[in-house]
Homo-oligomer: A and B are copies of this chain.
Amino acid sequence: MKIKELAMLIHGVVEGDGDADVTGLSGIETSNAGDLIFATDDEKLGFAEKSGASCVLTSKSTRAAMKPLVRVDNPKLAFLLLYNFMNKPAGREAFTDPSATISVSAKVGNNVWIDAGVRIGGNVSIGDNTIIEANAVIKKNCSIGSFCHIHPNVTLYDNVVLKDRVVLHSGVVLGADGFGYVREKDKIYKFPQLGRVIIENDVEIGANSTIDRGSLGDTVVGAGAKIDNLCQIAHNIKIGKNFIMAAQSGISGSVTIKDNVTMGGQVGIRDNVTIGNNAMIGAQSGVLGDLADGSVVWGTPSKSLIQTKREVIVLGWLTDNFIRIKKLLKGKI
């Protein structure tokens, strides 16, 4: 495709030879002749110029360059849209590996791909164009939508619901029993874990993450959530739209997360709290209470990001001046 043609697709402005050909997309480091790459600032544009690439997507505010440029509002977004345009997923035909074990009561849609060693239990339904990869286990009464992609070695316990376009990476476990016990004298009783896990449209869940079923109600992950690897979502959590959860974070039971919440890595949220819309929680925070809409917090226990940053500075200063502070208290200054 010519540079001027692809520029039209992304509403870009060509600077330089728009008739040159682009044959692929790549990163700056790995680019060769024919590749289109992107550079978000002048420093990266410098690397881009030295690369083998034939065309650079960039923003409207970077400098001029020695290679053909296409200027757009958001070069990273334009790059991914171009990528998606050039890589429309090929329609797969229906396939079931003979080593898969599928209950006779399962209902499988059109063009579903079921790979080797997959186990599908009774009364499971699977929507059209869904892919279930090798050795995944789907237990009974699960409902899986269309265009889902379940990677190898995933486990779905009974009654899990996946809506459409849900992606589960390898090792994900949905619907295991929540961590609910009642202690009475010297004995620990397990509380019934009867609810479901419901995953709304367009959710992607990273490798080896775990989401427990609700105890009496359900655990719900709202549409558009992106959950990274090794995350833990406990029983009866309700998560709103477009949740972002970075790796190794965990949420305790019965928490409510409203819409557009963003969470850094290794965050912990205590049980029974509510996180307001658009809240942002810094990495490694420990959240011990409700957060209002629009909160930006950090630290354990979490406080406003500004306050925690101040506390870090103040503690450093007090430590550097510790001898003087001790003297002052002794009346020696």
Contacts and interface: CB of A to CB of B under 8 A. Distances in A.
A232 B248 contact: yes
Nearest to A318: B314
Q: What is the count of identical protomers in the complex?
A: 3
A247 B232 contact: yes
A215 B311 contact: no
A134 interface: yes
Nearest to A31: B216
A253 B41 CA distance: 19
A190 interface: yes
A219 interface: no
Given A117-B135, A155-B171, A322 B314 contact: yes
A181 interface: yes
A312 interface: yes
A171 B318 CA distance: 46
Interface in A274-333: 283-284, 286, 300-301, 303, 307, 310-312, 314-319, 321-322, 324-326, 328-329, 331, 333
Interface stretch (A1-9, A58-66, A203-211): A203-211
Nearest to A248: B250
Contact of A134 (B77, B137, B247, B268): B137
Interface of A: 25-30, 74, 76-77, 79-81, 83-84, 87, 97, 99, 101, 115-117, 119, 133-135, 137, 139, 151-153, 155, 157, 169-171, 173, 176-177, 179, 181-182, 184, 186-192, 195, 204, 206-208, 210, 212, 215-217, 224, 226, 228-230, 232, 234, 242, 244, 246-248, 250, 252, 265-266, 268, 270, 283-284, 286, 300-301, 303, 307, 310-312, 314-319, 321-322, 324-326, 328-329, 331, 333
